[in-house]
Amino acid sequence: MYDLIVIGSPSFDRVVRDSTFFQDQVLSGPSIISAVTARWLEIENLVVIGSLSSRDFSLLDHKLDTLAVPEFFKIGSPETGGFEVNYNGGIEPSFTRVLGVPKRIGIRDIPDEFLSTRYILLTPLLQEVDAELTEWLCNSSDAIVLMDPQIRTSEAGNRLGTIKELEIASKTTCYLDFIKPNEEEAFFITGVDDPFVAAEILVDTLAENCIITRGTRGSILFDGKELKIIPSFKVNAIDTSGAGAAFLSGFISGLLNDERHDFCAALGASVASFKVIGENTDFSLDRSTALARARELALEIKTH
């Protein structure tokens, strides 16, 4: 049995700095950030599942070797996902253009052996993890299923746009164990700008538990009974992209050790603080230090 299955396609990005293009393809994407973070947290029994062009299979293998990600199950796709990413001096880079769109991952793409896992993390790059796949995973596996929802899509002219609706909210009766949007995504899904009310709506409609991340203002955790506010760990961030993906790996690390959900959220916040002081996958963390930071944050958790 696996400890963690991460489902989401990799991104090969082209980086722009000060109007200068860099030719190297940078491996990124939420699933990659989650997997790299999980390895730092000593979650070794994991596999990533994603779709990409067969032309990039060997390149992916090479880059994953350097990141010590143990296993990636590749699904062939006409294109490999990727973006043109502009690092313009701020802590949040701009995604200015879509370079490729991974194909949707179908039910038949995933071997049954991967259903035997403790946790499944759905963390799509664009919209390759659809409602049908999500519902099948929830119904076919005994795993705890977590989703990092994605509202981005590719529009005409390779522009990055926003979807009209989240499929899982309108086309399934699926009930996730955890959903973790950021504030923008929570507002998009619920139509409510109050994150506390949005968390309650998401638990009423989509998940047993909801975590809404709010950057430097921490996160909100709602389990259907209590709303808790988890602070962030203050650092000098240089790149906030991927913070949510790192947060979820920290959260799952806590779940794997049977920690309380609020401590898991504190551990997620702690882990995210390591991610944001590095760029893309170029970061490191020490598990014992992450746990120490989480214990500090846990002392400051408040009930709303």
| Predicted local confidence at residue 292, as pLDDT | 98
| Predicted local confidence at residue 47, as pLDDT | 98
Q: Are 80 and 102 in contact (CB under 8 A)?
A: yes
| Predicted local confidence at residue 40, as pLDDT | 95
Tell me: the pLDDT tens digits for 196-227? Answer: 999 999 999 999 999 999 999 999 999 999 99
Spans in the chain with pLDDT lower than 50: none
| Predicted local confidence at residue 22, as pLDDT | 64
Tell me: the pLDDT tens digits for 155-188? Answer: 988 999 999 888 777 666 668 999 999 999 999 9
| Predicted local confidence at residue 23, as pLDDT | 64
Q: How far apart are CA 17 and CA 238, in angstroms?
A: 14
CATH code assigned to 2-303: 3.40.1190.20
Domain ranges of the chain: 2-303
| Predicted local confidence at residue 170, as pLDDT | 67
Global pTM exceeds 0.85: yes
Q: How far apart are CA 63 and CA 69, in angstroms?
A: 9
| Predicted local confidence at residue 173, as pLDDT | 60
Concatenated DSSP letters of the chain: -EEEEEE---EEEEEEETTEEEEEEEEE-HHHHHHHHHHHTT--SEEEEEEE-GGGHHHHHHHHHHHT---EEEEE-SS--EEEEEE-SSSS-EEEEEEE-PPPPPGGGS-GGGGSEEEEEE--SSS-S-HHHHHHHHHH--SEEEE----EEEEGGGEEEE-SS-HHHHS----EEEE--BHHHHHHHHS-S-HHHHHHHHHHHTEEEEEEE-GGG-EEEE-SS-EEEEPPPP---S--TTHHHHHHHHHHHHHHTT--HHHHHHHHHHHHHHHTTSBTTB----HHHHHHHHHHHHTT-EE-
| Predicted local confidence at residue 168, as pLDDT | 75
The CA angle 216-146-63, to the nearest 5 degrees, is 80
| Predicted local confidence at residue 21, as pLDDT | 64
| Predicted local confidence at residue 165, as pLDDT | 85
Contacts of residue 71, defined as CB under 8 A and 6 or more positions apart, other chains included, come to 46, 47, 48
| Predicted local confidence at residue 19, as pLDDT | 63
